[in-house]
Amino acid sequence: MIKHFFKYLANLKLAILILLVISVVIGIGTIIEQNKELLFYQKNYSILIFSIPLWKIILFLGFDNIYSTWWFLLLLSILGLSLACCTIIQQLPTLKFSRRYYFYKQINQYNKLQVKINAIKVFPSHLSHTLLNKQYSLFQQFNSFYAYKGLISRVGPIVVHISIICVLLGSTVGALTGFNSQELIPKTEVFHIQNVIKNGFFSSIPQKTFRINDFWSIYTTNGLIKQFYSDISILNGGGKELQRKTISVNNPLLLKELIVYQTDWGILGLRLKYIKKDTSKINLQLPISKINTSNQKLWISSIPSVQKNNKSFIVLIKDNRGQINLYNNEGKFIKSSNIGDIIYSTDVIGLTLMDIISSTGIQIKSDPGIQLIYFGFFFLMLSSLISYISFSEFWLLYFPLKVISGGKTNRAKVKYNLEFLQFKQSFFN
């Protein structure tokens, strides 16, 4: 019964059916947004299906996080098991059978071949030498020859199955044991992994300490951001620096079990200083709010007045260049100020912009199965190269007054026909 079960799993039609179901599910995952908050689904999928809101159906079936659901991982496991059974039960015996040499000793066997020769005489020794020079493996038994080359192409389907199994296994391991964290950290701050937005059932969050030493951006001539950078350090429990690197978009920090990406940036606040004429100073830190726009990042804040007759300002920040735009309470533009500038000064007090507190968006990701996925794609590329190699076979049966020969190949048939024609012209009469 167990043997029959594994043979059923090795069925090609079953593997294609499972692959089709997985493709449909992945298609659903590209249509429905993944890993969003509950309010997002309630707002965007509020239509009723048989008096049930669509968002409830989505959450019940796990369509909000398809790639980590138990039934999707089960589909991947069944497909991987089917491919493994097919490799062991069908592909390996086929490869073993291809290595065997077998002779055609009946004339009717040659009638099924793609190309064949009927002749009176052949030069066996010369033909054998030519076949060996053309990388054929040659076998002889009395008056019969058998030769083949390109046996490695028979390994191609096995390598394809191994590659797919590696990708499936790597994806499953990553889904079960990996995690993804998004952190928005002010520069000079020390932080730990806290804001985990996605994690697997068996994932473990490492207790690592990071520090953002600095953050800056570079801009194009037309004022658009070209790249932004974060100087980040890895610290031990005592605060000693273990590793340091400046990361940017597409240039992450690679650790043993983690990858630290640069993803975003933002502004958290302003540092101001009130300087009175009696030399007393007041340090002030103001929060700032982000304005959601379609094509530009904007932040807004307000500088309050310290005394009754002092001015108050509305602050607008467009980028991370260290410049702010000041407006009055009626929204009229007053001026632009840079870090270190005096915003205004009176006989009694002066207000100076000391710093703009910027933050960097860091994504910390763990995917223990990524190496298996890389190996899978490596084997897939290797199998593509192997598939271009032709598996060619050649048979010969000769008698004192009659010679018959034939051959076949699975690829490059025109080239093989020309090669066979060369044999006919050189060694047969």
Instruction: Confirm whether 94 is domain-assigned.
Output: no
Beta bridge partners of 303: 313
The pLDDT value given to residue 317:
87
* 3 state DSSP class of 178: coil
Are 139 and 180 part of one and the same domain?
no
- pLDDT computed for residue 278 by the predictor: 64
Mean pLDDT over 21-35 rounds to 88
Burial (CB < 10 A; 0-12, 13-18, 19+), residue 273, is middle
Strand partners, 325: 316, 336
| Mean pLDDT of all residues belonging to the chain | 84
Q: Choose the most confident range, by mean pLDDT, from 94-98, 178-182, 329-333.
A: 178-182
Mean pLDDT of 213-227: 83
| Strand, coil or helix: 308 | coil
pLDDT at 345: 75
pLDDT at 362: 92
Residue 36 lies in a domain: yes
Establish if 127 belongs to a structural domain: yes
User: Is the domain of 126 the same as that of 183?
Assistant: no
**3-state DSSP of 66-125:** HHHCHHHHHHHHHHHHHHHHHHHHHHHHHHHHHCCCCCCCCHHHHCCCCEEEEECCECHH
Domain encompassing residue 291: 269-356
Domain boundary among 89, 119, 139: 89
Work out the percent of the chain whose per-residue pLDDT is above 90. 9
| Model pTM score | 0.69
| pLDDT over threshold 70, residue 279 | no
Q: What is the pLDDT of residue 268?
A: 86
Both 172 and 254 in one domain: the answer is yes
| pLDDT attached to residue 119 | 86
Asked if residue 155 belongs to a domain, the reply is: no
Q: Is 172 in the same domain as 256?
A: yes
pLDDT for 306? 58
Task: Using the predicted structure, report yes or no on whether residue 205 has a pLDDT greater than 60.
Answer: yes
Q: How many helices, marked H, and strands, marked E, lie in the chain?
A: 11, 23
234 lies in the same domain as 372: yes
Which residues make Cβ contacts (< 8 Å) with residue 315, sequence separation at least 6? 270, 286, 288, 300, 301, 302, 303, 324, 325, 326, 327
Same domain (yes/no): 371, 346: no
Q: Give the total number of structural domains in the chain.
A: 4
CA distance 345 to 320: 25
Instruction: Give the least confident one: 74-78, 367-371, 424-428.
Output: 424-428
Q: Are residues 181 and 244 in the same domain?
A: yes
Express each pLDDT in 335-357 by its tens digit.
888 888 888 777 667 788 888 88
Q: Are residues 377 and 419 in the same domain?
A: no
Same domain, 260 and 366: yes
For residue 104, the model assigns a pLDDT of: 86
State the pLDDT confidence band at 423, using cuts at 50, 70 and 90.
confident
Q: Are residues 328 and 189 in the same domain?
A: no
Domain boundary among 63, 89, 115: 89
Report residue 326 as tokens: 């000041």
Q: What is the pLDDT of residues 74-102, one digit of tens each?
A: 888 888 888 888 888 877 777 776 667 67
371 and 260 housed in the same domain: yes
Residue 374 and residue 257 in one domain: yes
Identify the weakest region by mean pLDDT among 6-15, 33-42, 124-133, 258-267. 6-15
DSSP H or E segment with residue 283 = strand 281-287
